[in-house]
Amino acid sequence: MARAIWSGYINFGLVSVPVGLYSATEEHELDFHQFQQGTSDRIRYKRVNERTGREVDYDKIVKGHDVGGGEYVIVEQEELADIAPGKSRSLEISTFVDLDEIDPIHFEKSYYLAPSDSENASSYALLRDALAKTNRAGIATFVMRSKEYLAAIRADGKVLVLETMFFADEIRDPAKEVGSLPAKSGAGKQLSMAVDLIEAMSGTWRPTEYKDSYTERVKKLVETKRKGQEVVFTEEEPEATPRSDLVSALRASVEAARARRAGTAKKAATKKSTTKKTAAAKKTAANKSAAKKTTQKTTAKKAAAKKTPAKKTTAKKTTAKKTSAKKKAA
């Protein structure tokens, strides 16, 4: 079992649930070290006093905020901890909102919440099941690693998931970032065909079908170079579709998507049919085997029945002969 990166209490109303916070995701990027080009000399980073040029121990480093004009306000770690009394151990839920109301752009990182002990597992389960039944998320704030987070606590199967969130003033205005954006498109033939393409390409969300192809290529590159070989990856850069070709491109895309879907459906149907035939064949074989056993048992019973009367008849005849003999003797 992993070690909790934070522990505290979920507080809602007058209820407190002790929990631990665990990482829910991980990245599979390859680690690279830095070297001076043309050598095998590693590049190292050191914390150096820019005035003296001497290295400074980590425990002797404090934080300072630039307030302008070359002036800094120095803040100690203890001072940062003192201004958030009680918050570092508390997940204070202020309200419950419908999950569908939260724009995914606010979600930052996912964590698992687990009960800290078995004694309070029932209160944890109660909150989880209530959230699942109402499709709600508890909006809370807490402090972790000297930073205050906005969070949404939701149910996901048997576990509670905490999503750290961006505050509203941390979400950038798209108009300021990307400039002018096109107006709403008209409800013409192009829009209709675009909708048809989306419908033709729609499917069930299966996360296991998607792989990090870039990381795989990086691994292949490293392994190939380790063997002293050279690898070349070629990939054509896509070109923007001209406006005059948009309708024909959409039409061709819809037809291709529908053909792929039809092929997939046919394969699935063939697989189901084969499965059913195999199951039917097994069932028929089992029935035949059972019928054969029943026939064998019936035949055996009939044979036994025939043998039994024959023995009794013989016995009667023998008895009759003995009786006649006795009469003659008398």
Is the pLDDT confidence value at 82 over 80? no
Rounded distance between C-alpha atoms, residue 138 and residue 134, angstroms: 11
Residue 140 placed within a domain: yes
Over residues 75-79, mean pLDDT: 85
Strand-pairing partners, residue 140, are: 93, 151
Residue 199 placed within a domain: no
Q: Tell me: do 16 and 155 sit in the same domain.
A: yes
Q: Tell me: do 160 and 253 sit in the same domain.
A: no
Length of the chain in terms of residues written: 330
Highest mean pLDDT among 32-36, 222-226, 286-290: 32-36
Q: pLDDT grade, residue 229 (50/70/90)?
A: confident
pLDDT value of position 277:
59
Q: Determine what percent of the chain is predicted with pLDDT higher than 90.
A: 41
Domain that holds residue 260: 247-284
Rounded distance between C-alpha atoms, residue 149 and residue 128, angstroms: 21
Rounded distance between C-alpha atoms, residue 136 and residue 130, angstroms: 8
Rounded distance between C-alpha atoms, residue 305 and residue 113, angstroms: 73
The CA dihedral of 34, 35, 40, 44, to the nearest 10 degrees, is -80
Is the pLDDT confidence value at 304 over 90? no
| 3-state class (DSSP) for residue 212 | coil
Number of Cβ within a 10 Å radius of residue 164: 17
Is the pLDDT confidence value at 321 over 70? no
Is the pLDDT confidence value at 310 over 50? no
Tell me if 90 sits within 8 A of 142, measured CB to CB. Answer: yes
Over residues 197-220, mean pLDDT: 86
Q: Tell me: do 133 and 11 sit in the same domain.
A: yes
268-285 tens-digit pLDDT: 666 666 656 555 556 655
**178 vs 233: which has the higher pLDDT:** 178
Q: Tell me: do 251 and 164 sit in the same domain.
A: no
Residue 258 placed within a domain: yes
Quote the pTM value. 0.66
The CA–CA distances, whole Å, from 63 to 74, 77, 146, 149, 173 equal: 6, 8, 12, 20, 30
Q: Tell me: do 11 and 99 sit in the same domain.
A: yes
Last residue of a domain, one of 106, 140, 170: 170
92-102 tens-digit pLDDT: 999 999 999 99
Rounded distance between C-alpha atoms, residue 141 and residue 91, angstroms: 6
pLDDT value of position 155:
97
Q: What is the mean pLDDT of the chain?
A: 81
Last residue of a domain, one of 145, 170, 195: 170
Q: Where are the beta strands (DSSP E) in the chain?
A: 6-12, 15-23, 63-68, 71-75, 90-98, 107-115, 136-144, 147-156, 159-165
Residue 93 placed within a domain: yes
Q: Tell me: do 278 and 154 sit in the same domain.
A: no
Residue 78 placed within a domain: yes
**316 vs 27: which has the higher pLDDT:** 27
Q: Tell me: do 17 and 159 sit in the same domain.
A: yes
Q: pLDDT grade, residue 140 (50/70/90)?
A: very high
- Name the residue among 178, 166, 188 with its Cα closest to residue 243: 188
Residue 46 placed within a domain: no
Is the pLDDT confidence value at 286 over 70? no
Q: Tell me: do 166 and 256 sit in the same domain.
A: no
Residue 265 placed within a domain: yes
Residue 155 placed within a domain: yes
The CATH number covering residue 138 comes to 2.40.290.10
Q: Tell me: do 128 and 252 sit in the same domain.
A: no
Tell me if 97 sits within 8 A of 112, measured CB to CB. Answer: no
Is the pLDDT confidence value at 202 over 90? no
How many domains does the chain divide into? 2
pLDDT value of position 124:
96
Q: Tell me: do 143 and 260 sit in the same domain.
A: no
Q: Tell me: do 150 and 264 sit in the same domain.
A: no
Over residues 69-80, mean pLDDT: 88
Q: Tell me: do 270 and 152 sit in the same domain.
A: no
Q: pLDDT grade, residue 36 (50/70/90)?
A: very high
Tell me if 151 sits within 8 A of 164, measured CB to CB. Answer: yes
